[in-house]
Amino acid sequence: MAEVKFDAASRIYPGTEEPAVNKLNLDIGDGELLVLVGPSGSGKSTALRMLAGLEFVNDGSIFINDKDVTLAPPQDRDIAMVFQNYALYPQMTVASNMAFALKQQGVSKEDRMARVKEAAKILDLEPFLDRKPKNLSGGQRQRVAMGRAIVREPQVFLMDEPLSNLDAKLRVQTRTELADLQARLGVTTVYVTHDQVEAMTMGHRVAVLNFGVLQQVDAPRTLYSAPANKFVAGFIGSPAMNLLAASDVGGRAGIGGVQVPLSDAVAAAAGAHPARELTVGVRPEHLQLGSEGIPGEAIVVEELGSESFVHVRIDHLGESTTIVVRDEGETDVRRGDNVSVGFNGPVHLFGPDDQRISG
Amino acid sequence: MTAATSNAPSREEQVKALQKREARRRRLPLLPALIFTILITQIPFVMSLYYSFTDWTVTPPSPRTWTGISNYTDAFTNSFFREAAVTSIVMTVSSVLLSVILGTGVALLLDRKFFGQGFVRTLIITPFLVMPVVAGLVWKNQMFSAAFGVINWLLEAVGLEAVEFASKYPRWSIVAVLVWQWTPFMMLIILAGLQGQPASVLEAAKVDGATPRATFFQITLPHLRPYLELGVLLGSIYLIQVFDHIVVMTGGGPGSTNVPYFVNQRSIGGGWRFGSASAFSILVVIATIFIATFGLRVLSGLLEGEEP
Ligand SMILES: Nc1ncnc2c1ncn2[C@@H]1O[C@H](COP(=O)(O)OP(=O)(O)OP(=O)(O)O)[C@@H](O)[C@H]1O
Ligand SMILES: [Mg+2]
Instruction: Give the residues surrounding ligand 1 with Cβ less than 6 Å away.
Output: A 13, 16, 20, 38, 40-46, 194
Mean predicted confidence (pLDDT) in A330-342: 93
Binned at pLDDT 50, 70 and 90, residue A230 comes out as very high
DSSP A229: B
3-class secondary structure per residue, B232-266: HHHHHHHHCCCCHHHHHHCCCCCCCCCHHHHHHHH
Three-state DSSP state, B10: coil
State the distance from the centre of ligand 2 to the C-alpha of A84, rounded, in angstroms: 8
What's the burial of A106, exposed, middle or buried (CB within 10 Å: 0-12/13-18/19+)?
exposed
CB-CB neighbors (< 8 A) of A101 in chain B: 208-210
A176 and B CB contact within 8 Å? no
Of the candidates A84, A99, A152, the beta carbon closest to that of B308 is on A99
Mean pLDDT, chain A, whole residue set: 93
Binned at pLDDT 50, 70 and 90, residue B1 comes out as very low
- Residue B265's nearest CA partner among B249, B284, B280, B255 is B280
Three-state DSSP state, A164: coil
Mean predicted confidence (pLDDT) in B260-265: 86
The pLDDT of residue A289: 93
Residue B31 confidence (pLDDT) above 90: no
B255 near B172, Cβ under 8 Å?
Answer: no
Kindly give the pairing relationship between strand A338-343 and strand A287-290: antiparallel
Domain enclosing residue B104, as ranges: 54-303
Four-point Cα dihedral A345, A349, A355, A357, nearest 10: -90
Is A4-235 a domain of CATH 3.40.50.300? Answer: yes
CB within 8 Å: A54 and B222: no
CB within 8 Å: A88 and B201: yes
State the distance from the centre of ligand 2 to the C-alpha of A6, rounded, in angstroms: 18
A258 near A294, Cβ under 8 Å?
Answer: yes
Residue B6 confidence (pLDDT) above 70: no
State the distance from the centre of ligand 1 to the C-alpha of A235, rounded, in angstroms: 19
Q: Which phi and psi (to 5°) does residue A154 adopt?
A: -85, 175
Binned at pLDDT 50, 70 and 90, residue A233 comes out as very high
Residue B18 confidence (pLDDT) above 60: yes
Domain count, chain B: 1
A311 near A300, Cβ under 8 Å?
Answer: yes
Three-state DSSP state, A190: strand
Residue B38 is assigned to a structural domain of this protein: no
- Residue B240's nearest CA partner among B92, B97, B124, B141 is B92
Single-letter code of the amino acid located at A347? V
For a pocket test of ligand 1, which of A17, A21, A44, A83 has the largest count of ligand atoms closer than 8 A to its C-beta? A44
State the distance from the centre of ligand 2 to the C-alpha of A208, rounded, in angstroms: 14
B91 near B178, Cβ under 8 Å?
Answer: yes
**What ipTM was estimated for this complex?**
0.85
Q: Among residues of chain A, what percentage have pLDDT more than 90?
A: 86
Residue A350 confidence (pLDDT) above 70: yes
Query: Which stretch of A354-358, B9-13, B51-55, B59-63 has the lowest confidence by average pLDDT?
Result: B59-63
Residue B63 is assigned to a structural domain of this protein: yes
pLDDT tens, residue by residue, B272-293: 788 888 888 888 888 888 877 8
Tell me which of B300 and B185 has the higher pLDDT.
B185
Residue B239 is assigned to a structural domain of this protein: yes
Mean predicted confidence (pLDDT) in A199-204: 94
Of the candidates A81, A89, A116, the beta carbon closest to that of B219 is on A89
User: Which residues touch B256 (CB under 8 Å, ≥6 apart)?
Assistant: B87, B91, B170, B171, B173, B174, B246, B249, B250
Single-letter code of the amino acid located at A324? V
Angle CA(B131)–CA(B281)–CA(B262) in degrees, nearest 5? 70
Beta bridge partners of B48: none
Closest chain A residue to the Cα of B308, Cα to Cα = A96
Residue B270 confidence (pLDDT) above 80: no
Q: Decide: pTM greater than 0.90.
A: no
Binned at pLDDT 50, 70 and 90, residue B305 comes out as low
A351 near A357, Cβ under 8 Å?
Answer: yes
Q: Among residues of chain B, what percentage have pLDDT more than 70?
A: 94
CA distance A89 to chain B (A): 6
pLDDT tens, residue by residue, B116-173: 888 888 899 999 999 999 999 899 888 888 888 888 889 888 888 888 888 888 899 9
The pLDDT of residue A335: 94
Beta bridge partners of B57: B273
Residue A8 confidence (pLDDT) above 60: yes
Mean predicted confidence (pLDDT) in B295-301: 70
Kindly give the pairing relationship between strand A188-193 and strand A156-160: parallel
R_g (Cα) of chain A, nearest Å: 24
B198 and A CB contact within 8 Å? yes
Ligand 1, atom 25: closest residue by C-alpha: A40
Architecture of the A242-350 domain: Beta Barrel (2.40)
CA distance B50 to chain A (A): 46
Q: Which phi and psi (to 5°) does residue B230 adopt?
A: -60, -45
Please report, for the domain that includes residue B103, its CATH number: 1.10.3720.10
B139 near B169, Cβ under 8 Å?
Answer: no
Query: Can you state the percent helix, strand and coil of chain B, rounding each to 5?
Result: 75, 0, 25
CA distance B216 to chain A (A): 12
State the distance from the centre of ligand 2 to the C-alpha of A41, rounded, in angstroms: 7
Reported as half-sphere exposure (CB side, CA atoms, 13 A), residue A29 has a value of 8
A108 and B CB contact within 8 Å? no
Mean predicted confidence (pLDDT) in B259-271: 81
Residue B2 confidence (pLDDT) above 60: no
R_g (Cα) of chain B, nearest Å: 26
Mean pLDDT, chain B, whole residue set: 86
The pLDDT of residue A227: 96
User: Which residues touch B150 (CB under 8 Å, ≥6 apart)?
Assistant: B142, B143
The pLDDT of residue A304: 93
B197 and A CB contact within 8 Å? no
Closest chain B residue to the Cα of A53, Cα to Cα = B207
> Where are the domains positioned within chain A?
4-235, 242-350
Mean predicted confidence (pLDDT) in A17-34: 95
Distances (CA, A) of B201 to A88, A149, A189, B207, B219: 6, 14, 21, 10, 9
Within 10 angstroms of residue A335's Cβ, the number of other Cβ atoms is: 11
Kindly give the pairing relationship between strand A33-37 and strand A258-259: unpaired
